Amino acid sequence: MVNYKVADENLTDQGKEALYIAESKMPVTAKVIRERFQKKKPLNGIIVAGCLHITKETGNLARTLKAGGAEVYLCGSNPLSTQDDVAAALVQEDINVFAWHGNTDEEFYWCIRQCLDAKPNILIDDGADMIVTAHHEYEDLIKSGTIIACQEETTTGVKRFKAMDKQGVLKVPLFPVNDARCKNQFDNELGTGQGIVSAIYGMHVLFAGKNVVIAGYGHCSSGMALRARGLGANVIVTEVDPIKALQAKFAGYQVMPIEKALANADIILTATGCKHVISPTKENFNALKDGVILGNLGHFDIEVPTKEIYEYAKEIKPIRQNVEEITFPDGKRIYLLAKGRLANLVLSEGHPAEVMDMSFALQSLMSEYIVKNKEQLKPGMVDVPVEIDDRVGFLKLQSMGVEIDKLTKEQYNYIHGYEEGT
């Protein structure tokens, strides 16, 4: 029997179309791995719980895990990123889904608990909320070894687990899938880079000629800066890391502190994983230009100081779904995207399926790896094995018909040796 709570089961047909479109763009996850899983059933008897953005790509990950024999439970990792049609369609395929767009914080955690109540063996998180909840409220699942190991999909989650590990409170083996090369060099950089276009699209503004401030120059934000420049914007980067700031400077961007950048900004986009990137002061709010667009693509809604902006507002007027015109006491209007939450996921459909193919190929192969190696796994952070990262890279190249060179024995020995010199 399938367990679920979704917004509207009548959206199933629409959701099926979305899953089908993504499937055709995910040849590694939804074809090569799925077909092998279907035959070999490496996840037989395993319950996988995913706290992920419920998108058509995640739907295809769930189908692949199910093809491998797993029972799959899903809940949303962000209150505004769930695609209700996809959630409805997955239920029809006997995937247990607890997710709907616009859930409250209380409902968000209720959904997580429904997944943990199923006593899962593998947890796949995006932002750490499910695994942290397991540590706080489901200690038995950890102590009994029911939870074999966990996987984390995003940078913010990995940072939270590193902090737990450092403090000695991480009690499960944790694979930071985000840190694999096939994940952050493509999903974060290309996906989020392209995501700014979809995030802003509904505002009908031209990037060309605009002053676009990008906060951060990490994986996501450097991709965003590149795309904004490609669209003709004058890009200003803000950073706190001197090396990243140098990289931005040498890439040809203006670099300055955010407070200096505010007054001339037409669009401000954050993706840092930090909080209060724009510090919530009256001076900063007053410095903003009339008509400025504020958006965040980082994991939580605190990079742009959303709560404080709402408190300072004289009037909040929704002008499209999840876009608000906010009037400040002096009459100035600013435009806040997605209530400060991941604008690319809330206002559009998240990353293109082609990049999620690699992220979710890693999540699929790591689930298989965890089952195969369960006796050897110890609590703490464990890197994704290089062989799995490389395998996803090769499979992706193969799916695109791209061949590459292979090291000869002589070349291998040379680059791993020291004897040969001048």
Ligand X SMILES: NC(=O)c1ccc[n+]([C@@H]2O[C@H](COP(=O)([O-])OP(=O)(O)OC[C@H]3O[C@@H](n4cnc5c(N)ncnc54)[C@H](O)[C@@H]3O)[C@@H](O)[C@H]2O)c1
* CA–CA gap between residue 115 and residue 123 (Å, rounded): 9
φ, ψ of residue 48 in degrees (nearest 5): -110, 130
Stretch that binds ligand X, among 10-18, 150-158, 389-397, 405-413 (CB under 6 A): 150-158
* Token pair for 127: 């932002």
Single out the residue of 118, 274, 377, 381 in contact with ligand X (rule: CB under 6 A).
Answer: 274
* CA–CA gap between residue 105 and residue 327 (Å, rounded): 26
Nearest position to ligand X, beta carbon: 218
Which of 305, 300, 271 has the alpha carbon at shortest distance from 288?
Answer: 305
Single out the residue of 173, 216, 305, 393 in contact with ligand X (rule: CB under 6 A).
Answer: 216
At closest approach, how far in Å is the CB of 15 from ligand X?
Answer: 20
**184 lies in the site for ligand X, by CB under 6 A:** yes
What does each C-alpha distance from 239 to 49, 234, 247, 288, 391 come to in angstroms? 36, 17, 10, 19, 34
Single out the residue of 12, 58, 96, 156 in contact with ligand X (rule: CB under 6 A).
Answer: 156
Q: Which is nearer to ligand X, 276 or 314 (CB)?
A: 276
* CA–CA gap between residue 20 and residue 191 (Å, rounded): 20
**240 lies in the site for ligand X, by CB under 6 A:** yes
**248 lies in the site for ligand X, by CB under 6 A:** no
* CA–CA gap between residue 42 and residue 409 (Å, rounded): 34
Beta bridge partners of 324: 318, 336
**182 lies in the site for ligand X, by CB under 6 A:** no
Number of residues interacting with ligand X: please give it, by CB under 6 A.
Answer: 33
Single out the residue of 29, 60, 344, 364 in contact with ligand X (rule: CB under 6 A).
Answer: 344
**82 lies in the site for ligand X, by CB under 6 A:** no
In angstroms, what is the C-alpha Rg of the chain?
22
φ, ψ of residue 338 in degrees (nearest 5): 55, 30
In the shown chain, the binding pattern of residues 22 to 61 toward ligand X, with x for contact by CB under 6 A and - for none, equals ----------------------------------------
Stretch that binds ligand X, among 11-19, 32-40, 151-159, 406-414 (CB under 6 A): 151-159
Single out the residue of 29, 60, 133, 192 in contact with ligand X (rule: CB under 6 A).
Answer: 192
8 A C-beta contact, residue 236 and residue 212: yes
**214 lies in the site for ligand X, by CB under 6 A:** no
**79 lies in the site for ligand X, by CB under 6 A:** no
**99 lies in the site for ligand X, by CB under 6 A:** no
Q: In what order do the strands lie in the sheet with 380-381?
A: 4-5, 96-98, 71-76, 47-52, 122-125, 149-152, 173-175, 380-381
8 A C-beta contact, residue 10 and residue 343: no
At closest approach, how far in Å is the CB of 184 from ligand X?
Answer: 6
In the range 287-306, which residues lie near ligand X by CB under 6 A?
Answer: 297-299
Q: Which is nearer to ligand X, 174 or 271 (CB)?
A: 271
* Token pair for 357: 């193919």
At closest approach, how far in Å is the CB of 300 from ligand X?
Answer: 7
Ramachandran category for residue 74: left, alpha or beta (phi over 0 → left; psi -120 to 50 → alpha): beta
Name the residues that contact ligand X, by CB under 6 A.
154-156, 184, 188, 191-192, 195, 215-221, 238-241, 244, 271-274, 277, 297-299, 342, 344-345, 350-351
